[in-house]
Structure 1
Amino acid sequence: MSFDDILGGVTVMAILRGLPPAETVAVAGQLWDAGVTVLEIPIGSPEQIPALRATAAAAAERGLRVGAGTVITVEQVRAAAGAGAQYTVAPGLDLDISAASAAAGMPHLPGVGSATDVQRAWLAGHRWLKAFPATALGPAWITAMRGPFPDANFVATGGIAVGDVTTFLQAGARVVALGAALADPRQRDLLHLKKE
């Protein structure tokens, strides 16, 4: 499995942070029903592992995948694998974390915020990269990075509002991740975004 399999043909990824397990699964179900099939559950603190475990189990029943986010230590890689995550996501680039995730059978999506990051990630074999924090970098950053790295696939993440999704996609992002924007239940019907 690779991010070509996970993210190919997808334009929106959801990040469900800090919710209790039952609520995480309930919101995930709403998103899956709306056509948003790629989810990340951040596990920056141990109390978030149960939400990942519950959501990964619910995803498996539907034949879907869930990833673990905010993975910045090897211990978190192990916890993600133990909870049923099928990929890991990090805010930055750490090749040790990348290697640990690969060794656990999970593709890793590293965060990048500079040309140096993109180049190091690319040379390490990563073709999908998390542009973070996307709102601080801006859509123009993604367009600029696609010049020297035309085959890089950027997942724009960090502070993006639903109304900004199209702007980031037009700038060259392959996928836009929405987190805090999904805290409002009125924002969760994202079907129209799949067609843009």
Structure 2
Amino acid sequence: MTAQHDFDEIFGRVPLMAILRGMGVDRSVRLAGTAWDLGIDSVEVPLQTEEDERALRELVRLGAERGKLVGAGTIVSPDQITLAQAAGAAYLVSPGLDPIVVRAAQDAGIPILPGVATPTEVQLAQSLGLTWLKAFPATWLGVDWFRHMKGPFPHVRFVATGGIDASNAQEFLDAGVRVVAVGSALEDASQLDRLAALLS
């Protein structure tokens, strides 16, 4: 089994994931706990600062206690892959599609979810052996983008990120998206029940 197939396990059961960007250790811990309590299995911490690295390490530790996987996001160079693995990340997420970064992750044996926004990028990703892709920014692409992509790329599984919350998550899922990502919505008590309903 290749590393990419691991996304079937990482994302296969739950249609929501959490992205905790630049939130610091304490806030990340609090929101990760909210996500896990809701039933969200996967939490991503974008790696852009030393504080992000500390947050990633702490969430990896806490996630292990609950049987939850934590990924590292905003991976734009091979150097970050080593850092993410050392911090215990179970998977990687990139904002765009860089074949050099994809190959480095594959060589390191860690699943990577690169970002795409065009049919050309989706086709290139498939040629690199990828079947799970991040569509970013999702609200800019719009729900119809995903419906159009199902025709030429029926086997691709999309994770939609960027601008999604409880008010529009179901629209993307109805359009064929496998997983939608939320972030600050986890701090809005009025959205938690609606997010939980997506998991039931």
Quote the residue 1:58 is aligned against: 62
Alignment of 1:181-196 (within 5 A): 181-189=185-193, 190-195=195-200
Q: How many residues align?
A: 195
> Does 1:162 find its partner at 2:166?
yes
- Residue 5 of structure 1: CA displacement? 0.9
Distance 1:89 1:21 in 2: 20
Q: Does the 8 A contact of 2:35 with 2:186 survive in 1? A: no
Question: For residues 192 and 138 of structure 1, what CA distance do their matches in structure 2 show?
Answer: 22
Structure 2 portions without partners, runs of 5+: none
Tell me if the contact between 2:93 and 2:113 (Cα under 8 Å) persists in the aligned partners.
Answer: yes
Counterpart CA distance in 2 for 1:61 and 1:182 is 21
Deviation (angstroms), 1:103 = 2.5
The AA in structure 1 aligned to 2:63 is A
Q: Identify the residue that residue 24 of structure 2 maps to in structure 1.
A: 20
Q: Deviations over 1:94-131 (max 9, x none)?
A: 11111222222210001000000000001111000001
User: Any unmatched runs of 5+ in structure 1?
Assistant: none
TM-score (norm 2): 0.92
Q: 123, 127, 145: which is aligned to 2:127?
A: 123
Secondary structure, counterpart of 1:14 in structure 2: strand
| Residue of structure 2 in register with 1:87 after alignment | 91
TM-score, with length taken from structure 1: 0.94
Using the TM superposition, give the Cα deviation of residue 22 of structure 1 relative to its aligned residue in structure 2, in angstroms. Answer: 2.5
User: Aligned-pair RMSD on alpha carbons?
Assistant: 1.4
Q: Is the 8 A contact 1:159 1:180 kept in 2?
A: no
Say if 2:187 is the partner of 1:153: no
- Give the AA of the match of 1:164: N
Percentage of matched positions with identical amino acids:
49
- Check whether the contact 1:31–1:188 (CA below 8 A) recurs between aligned residues: no
